[in-house]
Amino acid sequence: MADLIKELVSGVVDSALKEILKKTGARRSATKRTKRRTRKAGSGGGLLAEIIEAAVRKPAKKQVSRRRTAAARSKLRRRSS
């Protein structure tokens, strides 16, 4: 009888542990995420096409920091006090 109870309890504990491990993802090894470069469907021209595309594409704009206006600064001052 005691053996039966012991087996039942160990089965319940075992299944509960499996469930917890499955939910937390502790079993799976953490993989390092890498940025993968994908090929575009239309690009088949090779090196020359890449050079032309780079020349045609606009360069990224530099981010400009914006200065707060006097009204925005006074509003900020009113909110904080």
6-37 confidence digits (pLDDT tens): 888 888 888 888 888 776 665 555 566 677 66
Q: What is the pLDDT of residue 54?
A: 76
Q: % helix / strand / coil in the chain, to the nearest 5?
A: 55, 0, 45
Confidence of residue 53 (pLDDT cuts 50, 70, 90): confident
pLDDT tens digits for range 68-77: 889 988 888 8
Alpha-carbon separation of residue 24 from 12, 19, 20, 45, 64 (angstroms): 18, 9, 6, 47, 43
Please check whether residue 27 is in contact with residue 21, taking contact to mean a CB–CB distance below 8 angstroms: yes
Summarize the confidence of residues 24-52 as an average pLDDT.
65
- The CA-CA-CA angle for residues 62, 65, 70, to 5°, reads 155
Q: What is the pLDDT of residue 25?
A: 60
